[in-house]
């Protein structure tokens, strides 16, 4: 097929396509549009950036051009995983349906329910929604899905990642069995295949590229680095990011920097702004109006660097993104394909840079296995050793700068102060004191213990019988000789003399 004129689209739709500047359809558009116009279910599998959105919007507008919507009963339904993608699909409908009288409504979070209910009450031909907000309206009794003629599921694999599959199954059951279903995904996970087998009727499978492949127009590069110390890893990684962006120079007209965590998105954006880069964050915790303003500024060229979570990894059509930087290596290999697919769209060239720490090596191997080719290693712009050869130097630096071993606390507890040993030249106690101390601490034999007990009972002193062996001195908590802490001897064969003293005898003294 040479152009859109051969696909069987409505003349008004063709005029809108030409006004938008498109002349030739992409491979997935050339195969999916004719099948959709015939009323058949379509299962489209294609890498991101191949024009999947037009593959279902153009035939939908042609099929819905005749007819009229009823209140609270939309004629078609488009499900999208994120608010940004849903808003983008709505923009595409505005572009392609500008010569056709069709009404639409956008049901996403962050927008007032009353405004959305007012649109639904008037009746809409095209309803574009995220699964959660759609079910909210349905449970409120404001929406009926029994009039849906065409149902579209866009970015189905992202739906799976976000946990929307149970909601998708429920929505499918709320729509008529006779509906036409257009199902699009970049990858074909087993769970996605189960859904298609359950709800699609003999679909036409359109697969224009091998599953989970990156576009050949994208130059890929992996920069390996090893932090000097574990506690400096995040800071040194941000320094590497700034050096990589500066190295690209004028060729980096704009870039999307992807992070795995929302908190890192804010930190990286703040760091870039602090060092003179024009950057702004976007993630799911931000207000919807702020997210839309940030995206619009980036799309219009007013913002150079967009720091994003995976909320911007799927389906967002920003035609001229020169660079994509993976500040964090994605833990799911498929996410890498979607992220770098934000550049090199519609045949344009682009570059994808991935910063790889030692802990990310296993994720990088999984990505290379998925795309079936190694990612070339790039030179570290900071000039510091990187990759496996940097391991000995990094270990040496970490050892030199590591923490000193902690001293174990004494058994006396946190608040107890350990007594220091007396200095060697300290004055020794006099002989009398030593003899008295020795007499107080002398242990007694069992016979002496019995005599002591007899003295306590009769009040008469009996002559003590000298022991065959000299009595041993018991260890007290403080040794009078050297002033050191000593452990107290347990109650074994020898018993301290104070244990054998009678209560009455001590009172008499």
Backbone angles phi and psi of 229, in degrees to 5: -145, 155
Domain that holds residue 502: 431-508
In a domain, 130, yes or no: yes
**367, 448: one domain:** no
* Long-range Cβ contact pairs of 484-487 (< 8 A, separation 24 or more): 484/419, 484/421, 484/422, 485/418, 485/419
Which of 166, 171, 155 is closest to 77 using CA atoms?
171
Name the domain count of the chain.
Answer: 3
- Kindly state whether residue 411 falls inside one of the protein's structural domains: no
* pTM of the entire predicted model: 0.61
Q: Are residues 65 and 134 in the same domain?
A: yes
Q: Is residue 421 part of a domain?
A: no
Q: Are residues 10 and 147 in the same domain?
A: yes
Q: For the chain, 509 residues long, give each residue's pLDDT as a single digit of tens.
A: 468 988 999 999 999 999 988 888 988 999 999 999 999 999 998 766 678 889 999 999 999 988 888 889 999 999 999 888 898 899 999 999 999 999 999 999 878 899 899 999 999 999 999 999 999 999 999 999 999 999 999 988 888 878 899 999 999 999 999 999 999 987 788 888 999 999 999 999 998 766 566 778 899 999 999 999 999 999 999 999 999 999 999 899 999 999 999 899 999 999 999 999 999 999 878 887 888 899 889 988 999 999 998 876 665 667 789 999 999 999 888 889 888 888 887 678 899 999 999 999 999 999 999 888 999 999 999 875 544 444 444 444 333 333 444 444 545 444 444 444 444 444 444 444 444 444 444 444 444 444 444 444 444 444 444 444 444 444 444 444 455 555 555 555 666 676 766 665 555 45
Q: Residues 186, 62: one domain? A: yes
Which residue among 172, 207, 242 closes a domain? Answer: 207
- Say if residue 184 is in the same domain as residue 229: no
Residues 194 and 255 in one domain: no
In a domain, 412, yes or no: no
Q: What residues are paired with 306 via a beta bridge?
A: 256, 280
Instruction: Tell me, letter by letter, the H, E, C secondary structure of 418-445.
Output: CCCCCCCCCCCCCHHHHHHHHHHHECCC
CB-based contact 28:206 (threshold 8 Å): yes
Domain co-membership, 297 together with 324: yes
Domain presence at residue 418 = no
Burial class (CB in 10 A: 0-12, 13-18, 19+), 346: middle
- Letter string b/e over residues 315-339, b meaning 16 or more CB atoms within 10 A of that residue's CB: bbbbeebbbbbbbbbbebbbbbbbb
330 and 339 in contact (C-beta within 8 Å)? yes
Q: DSSP secondary-structure letter at 461?
A: P
With respect to residue 348, please indicate whether it lies within any of the assigned structural domains. Answer: yes
Give the Å distances, CA to CA, from 470 to 299, 444, 445: 98, 10, 10
Q: Are residues 361 and 270 in the same domain?
A: yes
Is residue 420 one of the residues assigned to a domain?
A: no
180 shares a domain with 136 = yes
The residue from 359, 380, 400 where one domain ends is: 400
User: Last residue of some domain: 148, 172, 207?
Assistant: 207
Q: Does 197 share its domain with 223?
A: no
Cα distance between residue 486 and residue 19, in whole Å:
95
CB crowding 75-101: b at 16 or more within 10 Å, else e: bbbbbbbbbbbbbbbbebbeebbeebe
Say yes or no: 102 and 249 in one domain: no
Q: Which H or E run includes 151?
A: strand 150-153
Residue with tokens 């970049």: 186
Domain holding 245: CATH number? 3.40.50.300
Q: In whole angstroms, give the CA distance from residue 53 to residue 126.
A: 14
In a domain, 436, yes or no: yes
438 and 396 in a single domain? The answer is no
């Amino acid at each position: 097929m040479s152009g859109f004129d051969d696909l069987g689209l409505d003349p008004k739709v063709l005029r809108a396509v030409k006004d938008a500047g498109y002349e030739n359809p992409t491979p997935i558009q050339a195969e999916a549009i004719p099948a959709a116009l015939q009323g058949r279910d379509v299962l489209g599998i294609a890498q991101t950036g191949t024009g999947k959105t037009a593959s279902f919007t153009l035939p939908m507008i042609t099929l819905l051009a005749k007819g009229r919507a009823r209140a609270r009963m939309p004629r078609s339904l488009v499900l999208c995983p994120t608010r940004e993608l849903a808003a983008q699909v709505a923009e595409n409908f505005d572009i392609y349906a500008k010569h056709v009288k069709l009404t639409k409504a956008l049901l996403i979070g962050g927008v007032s329910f009353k405004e959305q209910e007012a649109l639904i009450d008037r009746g809409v031909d095209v309803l574009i929604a995220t699964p959660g907000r759609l079910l909210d309206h349905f449970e409120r009794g404001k929406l009926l899905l029994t009039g849906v003629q065409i149902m579209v599921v866009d970015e189905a694999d992202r739906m799976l990642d976000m946990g929307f599959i149970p909601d998708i199954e429920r929505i499918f059951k709320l729509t008529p069995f006779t509906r036409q279903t257009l199902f699009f995904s970049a990858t074909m996970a087993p769970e996605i295949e189960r859904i298609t087998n359950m709800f699609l009727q003999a679909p036409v499978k359109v697969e224009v590229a091998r599953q989970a492949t990156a576009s050949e127009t994208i130059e890929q590069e992996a920069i390996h680095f090893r932090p000097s110390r574990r506690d400096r890893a995040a800071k040194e990684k941000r320094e590497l990011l700034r050096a990589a962006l500066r190295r690209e120079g004028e060729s980096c007209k704009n870039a999307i920097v992807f992070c795995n965590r929302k908190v890192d998105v804010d930190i990286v954006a703040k760091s870039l702004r602090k060092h003179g880069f024009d950057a702004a964050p976007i993630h799911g915790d931000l207000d919807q109006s702020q997210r839309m303003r940030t995206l619009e500024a980036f799309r219009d060229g007013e913002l150079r660097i967009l720091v994003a979570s995976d909320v911007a990894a799927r389906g967002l059509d920003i035609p001229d993104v020169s660079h994509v930087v993976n500040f964090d290596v994605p833990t799911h290999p498929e996410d890498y394909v979607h992220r770098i697919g934000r550049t090199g769209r519609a045949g344009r060239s682009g570059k994808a840079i991935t910063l790889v720490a030692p802990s990310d090596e296993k994720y990088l191997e999984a990505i290379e296995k998925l795309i079936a080719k190694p990612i070339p290693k790039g030179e570290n712009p900071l000039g510091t050793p990187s990759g496996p050869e940097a391991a000995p130097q990094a270990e040496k630096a970490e050892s030199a700068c590591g923490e000193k071993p902690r001293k174990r606390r004494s058994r006396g507890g946190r608040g107890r102060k350990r007594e220091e040993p007396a200095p060697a030249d300290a004055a020794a106690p006099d002989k009398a004191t030593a003899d008295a101390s020795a007499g107080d601490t002398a242990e007694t034999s069992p016979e002496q213990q019995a005599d002591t007990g007899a003295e306590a009972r009769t009040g008469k002193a009996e002559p003590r019988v000298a022991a065959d062996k000299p009595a041993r001195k018991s260890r007290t908590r403080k040794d009078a000789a050297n002033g050191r802490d000593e452990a107290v001897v347990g109650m074994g064969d020898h018993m301290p003399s104070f244990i054998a003293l009678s209560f009455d005898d001590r009172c008499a003294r």
